[in-house]
């Protein structure tokens, strides 16, 4: 039953471009009408028709403890009743900054923003100011938010200048970004060899998860940090998605703690469901930011007390037990999905990096954007709709990670299992096997 969502979506399209505030929500990749959500609690999300689903999106990351965790809600309520925004320094942002540098002690300073986009674009500005160089190096398929410098696709050759990946991005801006295939350390080294004196920063997702999940080659992030150091460039590790989800110190903490990116970006989890992100880095770099230094950056709502309180409570509840639960829940969902797809003869591949995973509808290895694109997105669309009909809320695109929370119960897992029994054969329909 979707009539109410259809009516609301028709209304929304009249006053909002495409009917949504962020593109993936519109179901463009899978077809059909997005469900309007009324409420969510734990691992359960409920649409406006009162139908409930087991949620494997988690608000795209923030609902790591499940939706509306009572302690997080109480923290928000307290902060809201003290006024949700002062536009002045407050204790919650200070305590959240201290919590972050306690978890990641290689870094000294935190600048809060309201979105991951702002955190990464500030990293780029800071890197350019610190190095007096222009080029940003990124990897194809890695998402860093929607700042112009990152909405760039690879040019004709691997080492050539980038081209705009969105209307409205100037060629001259895109030409200051170089896009390399993910994982190709040899090409990064070659680029430093030819254009090293112009490279301000190398930016990568700590684990690429916005083209589906790609497992970083062993030592890749660390090797990028070393190359940057050697050539005087800034290494930016984007942990907006992985930060404090994959482990207590993010992906950085899972790769040995004896290496240091220059800057790390966080978002999603650190706001506990409210708009909050952060740029974190070494003091020498971060103190170039205004008002300490000459690089301008600001935000009316930055570090606002309600979002900071929600994020702080979320991080305080993310202890070793919580990470063990997340890991177990992710492993359970990944293996039951893979078993069901195998039983139905659906070619697929699960990529998992700790508790971060996604399912690709192909049997070829997926290690970069090109191989990710080889999957059968129409099989995914059939699977997605059958899962939705069966009461499971998946990301509405084959190129997204699946997000578990600590709130997923055995009952939720068995609902997923039941839904898979119909959805896996639906995915197989029409497939050439
Ligand atoms: C979500 C995301 C961003 C952008 O964050 P927003 O808060 O949506 O602007 C940046 N980088 C990565 C790796 C992300 O997953």
Nearest Cα residue to 342 out of 433, 259, 256 = 433
Instruction: Based on the residue annotation, tell me whether 296 is a catalytic residue of this protein.
Output: no
Determine the Cα–Cα distance for residues 12 and 21; give it in Å rounded to an integer.
10
Query: Mapping DSSP to helix (H, G, I), strand (E, B) and coil, where does residue 73 land?
Result: helix
Nearest Cα residue to 115 out of 267, 250, 243 = 267
User: Does an H or E element contain 203, and which?
Assistant: strand 199-205
Q: What is the full per-residue pLDDT of the chain (433 aa) written as tens digits?
A: 688 999 999 999 999 999 999 999 999 999 999 999 999 999 999 999 999 999 999 999 999 999 999 999 999 999 999 999 999 999 999 999 999 999 999 999 999 999 999 999 999 999 999 999 999 999 999 999 999 999 999 988 878 889 999 999 999 999 999 999 999 999 999 999 999 999 999 999 999 999 999 999 999 999 999 999 999 999 999 999 999 999 999 999 999 999 999 999 999 999 999 999 999 999 999 999 999 999 999 999 999 999 999 999 999 999 999 999 999 999 999 999 999 999 999 999 999 999 999 999 999 999 999 999 999 999 999 999 999 999 999 999 999 999 999 999 999 999 999 999 999 999 998 655 4
Collect all residues with Cβ–Cβ distance below 8 Å to 279 and sequence separation of at least 6. Answer: 110, 111, 113, 119, 120, 122, 123, 126, 263, 264, 265, 286
| Contact in structure between 120 and 240 (CB atoms under 8 Å) | yes
Mean pLDDT value across the chain: 97
Collect all residues with Cβ–Cβ distance below 8 Å to 223 and sequence separation of at least 6. Answer: 185
Exposure letters 254-288 (e unless 16+ CB within 10 A, then b): bbeeebbbbbbbbbbbbbbbbbbbbbbbbeebbeb
Question: What pLDDT is stored for residue 430 in this prediction?
Answer: 66
Question: What pLDDT is stored for residue 433 in this prediction?
Answer: 46
Instruction: Based on the residue annotation, tell me whether 339 is a catalytic residue of this protein.
Output: no
Question: What pLDDT is stored for residue 157 in this prediction?
Answer: 81
Cβ atoms within 10 Å, residue 9: 20
Residues in the chain: 433
Instruction: Based on the residue annotation, tell me whether 238 is a catalytic residue of this protein.
Output: yes
Q: DSSP label at 216?
A: P
The residue behind tokens 């870094």 is 107
Determine the distance from the C-alpha atom of residue 422 to the mean position of all C-alpha atoms in its chain, rounded to a whole number. 29
Pocket of ligand 1, candidates 24, 58, 124, 240: which has the most ligand atoms within 8 Å of its Cβ, to mutate?
240
Question: What pLDDT is stored for residue 155 in this prediction?
Answer: 86
Q: Look up residue 413 and give its two tokens.
A: 């897992």
Instruction: Report the atom number in ligand 1 closest to the C-alpha of 118.
Output: 9
Question: What pLDDT is stored for residue 161 in this prediction?
Answer: 86
Name all residues whose Cβ lies below 6 A of ligand 1.
Answer: 115-117, 120, 143-145, 205, 210, 238, 240-241, 267, 277
Question: What pLDDT is stored for residue 156 in this prediction?
Answer: 84
Residue 58, preceding bond cis, omega within 30 degrees?
A: no
- pTM value > 0.95: yes
Collect all residues with Cβ–Cβ distance below 8 Å to 139 and sequence separation of at least 6. Answer: 179, 180, 181, 182, 183, 204, 205, 208, 368
Question: What pLDDT is stored for residue 431 in this prediction?
Answer: 54
């Amino acid at each position: 039953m979707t009539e109410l969502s259809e009516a609301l979506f028709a209304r929304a399209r009249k006053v909002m471009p495409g009917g949504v505030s962020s593109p993936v929500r519109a179901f463009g990749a899978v077809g059909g009408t997005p469900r309007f959500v009324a409420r969510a609690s734990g691992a359960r999300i409920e649409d406006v028709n009162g139908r409930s689903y087991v949620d494997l999106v988690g608000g795209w990351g923030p609902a790591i403890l499940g939706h509306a965790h009572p302690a997080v809600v109480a923290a928000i309520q307290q902060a809201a009743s003290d006024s949700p925004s002062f536009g002045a320094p407050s204790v919650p942002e200070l305590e959240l900054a201290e919590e972050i540098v306690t978890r990641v002690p290689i870094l000294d300073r935190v600048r809060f923003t309201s979105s991951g986009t702002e955190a990464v674009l500030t990293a780029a500005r800071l890197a350019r100011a610190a190095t007096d160089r222009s080029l940003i190096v990124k990897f194809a398929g890695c998402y860093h938010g929607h700042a112009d410098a990152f909405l760039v696709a690879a040019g004709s050759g691997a080492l050539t200048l980038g081209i705009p990946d969105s209307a409205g991005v100037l060629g001259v801006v895109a030409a200051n970004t170089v896009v390399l295939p993910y994982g190709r350390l040899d090409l990064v080294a070659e680029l430093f060899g030819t254009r090293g004196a112009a490279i301000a920063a190398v930016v990568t997702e700590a684990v690429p998860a916005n083209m589906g999940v790609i497992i970083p080659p062993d030592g890749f992030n660390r090797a990028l940090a070393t190359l940057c150091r050697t050539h005087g460039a800034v290494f930016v590790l984007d942990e907006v998605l992985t930060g404090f989800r994959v482990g207590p110190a993010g992906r950085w903490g899972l790769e040995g703690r004896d290496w240091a990116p220059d800057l790390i970006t966080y978002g999603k989890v650190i706001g506990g469901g409210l708009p909050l992100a952060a740029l974190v880095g070494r003091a020498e770099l971060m103190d170039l930011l205004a008002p300490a230094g000459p690089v301008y950056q600001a935000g009316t709502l930055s570090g606002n007390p309600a979002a900071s309180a929600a994020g702080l409570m979320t991080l305080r509840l993310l202890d070793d037990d919580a990470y063990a639960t997340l890991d177990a829940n992710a492993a359970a969902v990944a293996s039951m999905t893979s078993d069901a797809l195998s039983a139905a003869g659906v070619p697929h591949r699960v990529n998992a990096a700790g508790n971060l995973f996604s399912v690709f509808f192909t049997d070829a290895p997926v290690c970069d954007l090109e191989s990710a694109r080889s999957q059968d997105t129409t099989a995914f669309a059939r699977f997605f709709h059958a899962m939705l009909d069966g009461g499971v809320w998946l990301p509405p695109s084959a190129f997204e990670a699946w997000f578990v929370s600590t709130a997923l119960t055995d009952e939720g897992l068995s609902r997923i299992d039941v839904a898979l029994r119909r959805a896996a054969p639906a995915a197989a329909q029409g497939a050439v096997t």
